[in-house]
A = this chain, B = another copy of it.
């Protein structure tokens, strides 16, 4: 296939590929979507040379970033996240906002295909000049995915996007990761048959700054109101948030475009409140500290466990431990000494 490409295009393609960090930065700051996409592709690459370009790029972008509001959105499949993001995004664009949609999908590495971030899921939003939709960042670890998403957020902000929507599916610990890279956490729910609180992880409810009961239209409205009441009651049981924000529960219908402006008003009011009481910036700094410690601890562990020589030593010690020749603690002491020596040797 490649051989049939018009040489002119091929050249252009190559040229695009080889944009330097400086060119990328210039284009990105101007809001060039192609440059933004290329930069995010570099973030997702595991090649050393790409990482070096990205590192420079992100450091330069940092000064241009941070001015947005970052909104985490979660909910089980079928709750209507795509429809919500589509109508919510369009509402924001009408309000002169630039909207970026990113997705964290911990399942995509297994299914080898993204269930999130698929542009065809948001057919109207994707056509908007001021919307940028980026398919899933995936990675081998949650920390890795979070890092890539966090870096993508910085680039989007530098490109002038002022509302960043980070979508995740209610699987595993992805919510925790998304919660720790966003300012406001939205949980989408459906009204059920009275058992609204069943099967929801306590931790996710606790993280939510707002719960939206979606598909609150037609015959569903009564059940939605009931669910709203139940969630309000449940939220009362949690201690007050450090943000001093009382989590809200709202009935909406993304499909019927009902209640959407209220959601944005709420988020603006959240930002105003938390900027005033200083929580907004404190929380962002807290998140940055969390990721600093998390990355550093990962690196410290990896530097031992990914060293083939130490791995083989570890195996030897496990055999000795099994034979009762050495205690676990003494073995740990000696392995640690080997680790230090192996670094010195290099």
Contact = CB atoms under 8 A, between A and B. Distances in A.
A264 interface: no
Contact of A332 (B296, B303, B318, B326): B296
11 contacts: A59-B327, A59-B330, A147-B329, A292-B318, A292-B321, A292-B332, A299-B333, A300-B301, A300-B304, A300-B339, A303-B340
A211 B55 CA distance: 56
Contacts of A333: 55, 295, 299
A200 B113 CA distance: 43
Contacts of A324: 62-63, 65-66
Interface in A309-346: 317-318, 321-322, 324-333, 335-336, 339-340, 343-344, 346
A175 interface: no
B285 A328 contact: no
A189 interface: no
B300 A296 contact: no
User: Which among A59, A317, A329 has the greatest number of chain B C-beta atoms within 10 A?
Assistant: A329
Given A296-B304, A300-B339, A328 B65 contact: no
A338 to B, nearest CB: 11
A291 interface: yes
Given A62-B325, A289-B318, 5 more contacts: A62-B326, A62-B327, A151-B329, A285-B322, A303-B340
A215 interface: no
A236 B299 CA distance: 42
A18 interface: no
Contacts of A62: 324-327
A344 B345 CA distance: 8
Number of chain copies forming the complex: 2
Interface residues of A, number: 46
Given A59-B330, A324-B65, A329-B147, A336 B299 contact: yes
A327 B296 contact: no
Contacts of A328: 150, 288-292, 295
A47 B335 CA distance: 21
Contacts of A336: 296, 299-300, 303
A125 interface: no
B330 A317 contact: no
A21 to B, nearest CB: 14
Interface string A138-165: 0000000001001100100000000000
Contacts of A297: 301
A285 to B, nearest CB: 5
User: Which among A55, A58, A301, A328 has the greatest number of chain B C-beta atoms within 10 A?
Assistant: A328
A333 B55 CA distance: 10
A143 to B, nearest CB: 10
Interface in A188-204: none
Nearest to A345: B344
A332 B288 CA distance: 11
Contact of A299 (B58, B150, B288, B332): B332
A333 B330 CA distance: 30
Nearest to A340: B343
A276 to B, nearest CB: 19
